[in-house]
């Protein structure tokens, strides 16, 4: 692990290649898993505030869940997560031509919502866990992302490079450029 400020970053994030390949996975991460997408308290407030502008992007069944149950619930770990439809699919899912998209992201692209998607989704496959004195960033390996690993290897793109925009969104440009510098130094050391 490496440390930047109050974050501890798994070496996998520097070493592993990764580029999402939605043409292959079809966005299945939006419906697989044991709960909704993790949310911050600020995201719960923001999504609640903007729910009415997001709802037109989703199917009626999903819109009904968002309107009646709200944008989130507390999971078994006591954390807020996105509401689910049929205990499986994120309530913000939009299906187009067999591919799953995020209604929040579609609304954001039209300038209707200030965030592109929850930061946990934007950063995936990096998962962040807050501890008392630091935040740990780890690579969440999942079989459904095997095509993303293959595409990353083909294109020679490391995970931290692919996730530059969300990492900057969460930690800022200075933090990211320090990560980039550490990654280059680490790469040189590995070649010795």
Predicted confidence (pLDDT) per residue in 166-177, tens digit: 999 999 999 999
In the block, tokens 């309530």 appear at: 91
What's the mean pLDDT in 20-46?
89
Residue 161, SS3 per DSSP: helix
Strands (E), 51-141: 72-74, 80-82, 84-85, 89-90, 93-96, 99-102, 126-130, 135-139
Residue 118 has pLDDT above 90, yes or no: yes
If pLDDT is split at 50, 70 and 90, which confidence band does 30 have?
confident
Ramachandran category for residue 4: left, alpha or beta (phi over 0 → left; psi -120 to 50 → alpha): beta
Percent of the chain with pLDDT over 90: 80
| pTM metric for this prediction | 0.90
Residue 189 has pLDDT above 90, yes or no: no
Residue 179, SS3 per DSSP: helix
Report the pLDDT value the prediction gives residue 25, as an integer from 0 to 100.
86
Instruction: Give the residue among 96, 64, 69 at the shortest CA–CA distance from 81.
Output: 69
If pLDDT is split at 50, 70 and 90, which confidence band does 181 have?
very high
């Amino acid at each position: 692990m490496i440390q930047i400020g109050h974050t501890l970053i798994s070496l996998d994030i520097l070493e592993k290649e990764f580029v999402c390949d939605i043409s292959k996975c079809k966005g299945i991460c939006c419906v697989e898993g044991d709960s909704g997408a993790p949310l911050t308290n600020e995201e719960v407030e923001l999504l609640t505030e903007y729910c009415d502008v997001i709802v037109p992007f989703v199917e009626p069944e999903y819109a009904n869940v968002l309107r009646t149950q709200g944008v989130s619930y507390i999971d078994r770990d006591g954390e807020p997560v996105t509401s689910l439809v049929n205990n499986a699919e994120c309530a913000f899912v939009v299906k187009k031509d067999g591919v799953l998209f995020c209604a929040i992201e579609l609304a954001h692209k039209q300038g209707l919502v200030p965030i592109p998607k929850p930061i946990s989704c934007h950063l995936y496959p990096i998962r962040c866990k807050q501890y008392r004195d630091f935040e740990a960033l780890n690579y969440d390996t999942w079989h459904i992302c095997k095509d993303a690993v293959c595409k990353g290897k083909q294109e020679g793109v490391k995970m931290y490079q692919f996730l530059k925009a969300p990492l900057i969104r969460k930690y800022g440009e200075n933090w990211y450029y320090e990560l980039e510098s550490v990654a280059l130094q680490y790469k040189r050391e590995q070649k010795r």
